Amino acid sequence: MMKDINILYIEDDKENREGLISVLSGNSIDDYSLQIDAIENFEDGIEKVISKDYHIIVLDIYKGKPEENGEQAGLNVLQEIQNKCFIPVIFYSGNTSNVTEYKSQVVGVVTKGDEGIEGLKLEIQRLAKNNLPFIKENIHKYLENEFKDYFWNIIHEERNKFTFEKNDFSLGYLMLRKFGNSLSKAKISEIIGDSDLTKNKVHPMEFYIYPTDAKSEYESGEILQKDDAVFVILTPSCDFIERFDKNGSSTGRKVGKVLLTKTELLKNTSEFNDFKKSKKEDDKNKLKKIVTSGKSDRYFFLPETPFIENRIIDFQNKVMVEYSDLKDYIRLAKLDNPFAEGMIASFIRYYNRIGYPDIDSDYIISRI
């Protein structure tokens, strides 16, 4: 079944507007049918964006002809969109030299003379394959359904328990906690349309919460960077909580010095380099043990994503820093649970070992 991609095209040249509509509107890309609205007025663009649920905005850049270097009204529309909502944008103009710096996962740049309609179709296809035009729509639908089920099927049906005399803001708290808890791996995979998030395998993105809220307190499992070195916090999260007396005055935090463990790039390990050279199964298995954190409790693997390279935590490589010095570190990301908990569990197991020398089995057997 074909799914519509609703596109708003903002272009002040009538011939260009009508030409794009005649070529693309009603046509299909993969399993998607393109439905295009077009307007000529840049100033009305943001109102049109908000008034209807569009999946993609295709934007001209200049008022008038590109070669005349007129007002870059398309950039103003992009800024308004960024201030008010999220919709992927594609700049489509005869002169795109001034907007190439904006190109990203959510902003496309296509030059009419060089790439033309085919380039625009490829950019629409890229966005659709990544499901970016539909994530917001899918989340809204899911949240609306959760609201409906919670308040009608639970709060209303159990009205003898949730009487209006006792009604307070805790109902909203309970609902949002239930909503958060309902976002299982399978449900997230369904919402974002990513079949790579298989049930029995972990995708690297699942390890992290990114970005870190710079206003929030530090936590165990937070990943920090200073210069080229990357560290992970081992100090328990509860030690970072600021405490207050009954008068509201701060009594400080439990934390004095903060315990960090330094990470090493996977590509610098002997296991990585041995496998790269030999490609042997034995060396591959040794590398596998590292990336599955199975070599020993001394090590914990951090998989690569766009914001961090493949890295290994070595719990023997630790450093203590003052809490006040953490401001000199860049807050990269946080390990999400259960990975943060798993990392701390490995650390505890490694330093809780109780060992003793091997018994002389040959001596014992010789006397039997």
Q: What is the pLDDT of residues 203-261, one digit of tens each?
A: 888 899 999 988 899 999 999 999 999 999 999 998 888 888 888 787 778 888 999 99
Residue of 299, 294, 305, 307 whose CA lies nearest to 343: 299
Task: Give the residues across from 334 on adjacent strands.
Answer: 209, 222
CATH of domain 204-243+252-351: 2.30.30.110
- Find out whether 74 and 42 touch, Cβ atoms under 8 Å: yes
Give the Å distances, CA to CA, from 297 to 61, 220, 221, 294. Answer: 56, 17, 16, 8
State the CB neighbour count (10 A cutoff) for residue 50.
14
Confidence at residue 268, expressed as pLDDT on a 0 to 100 scale: 95
Confidence at residue 86, expressed as pLDDT on a 0 to 100 scale: 92
Q: Which residue has the tokens 């990585």?
A: 272
Residues of the chain with CATH 2.30.30.110: 204-243+252-351
Confidence at residue 365, expressed as pLDDT on a 0 to 100 scale: 56
Please say whether the structural domain 3-129 has been given the CATH code 3.60.21.10. Answer: no
Query: Over 60: is that where the pLDDT of 198 sits?
Result: no
Residues of the chain with CATH 3.40.50.2300: 3-129
Residue 292 and residue 310: Cα distance in Å, rounded?
Answer: 12
Query: Over 60: is that where the pLDDT of 296 sits?
Result: yes
pLDDT in tens, 248-289: 787 778 888 999 999 999 999 999 999 999 999 998 988 988
Residue of 147, 156, 201 whose CA lies nearest to 179: 147
The least confident of 129-143, 304-318, 321-335 is: 129-143
Confidence at residue 163, expressed as pLDDT on a 0 to 100 scale: 74
Query: Over 80: is that where the pLDDT of 294 sits?
Result: no
| 3 Cβ contact partners less than 8 Å away, ≥ 6 residues apart | 31, 32, 33
Retrieve residue 191's tokens: 């919402």
Ranges of beta strands (E only) in 188-256 are: 208-209, 222-226, 229-233, 243-244, 250-252
pLDDT in tens, 68-102: 667 889 999 999 999 999 999 999 998 898 899 99
pLDDT in tens, 162-182: 776 665 667 887 888 888 888
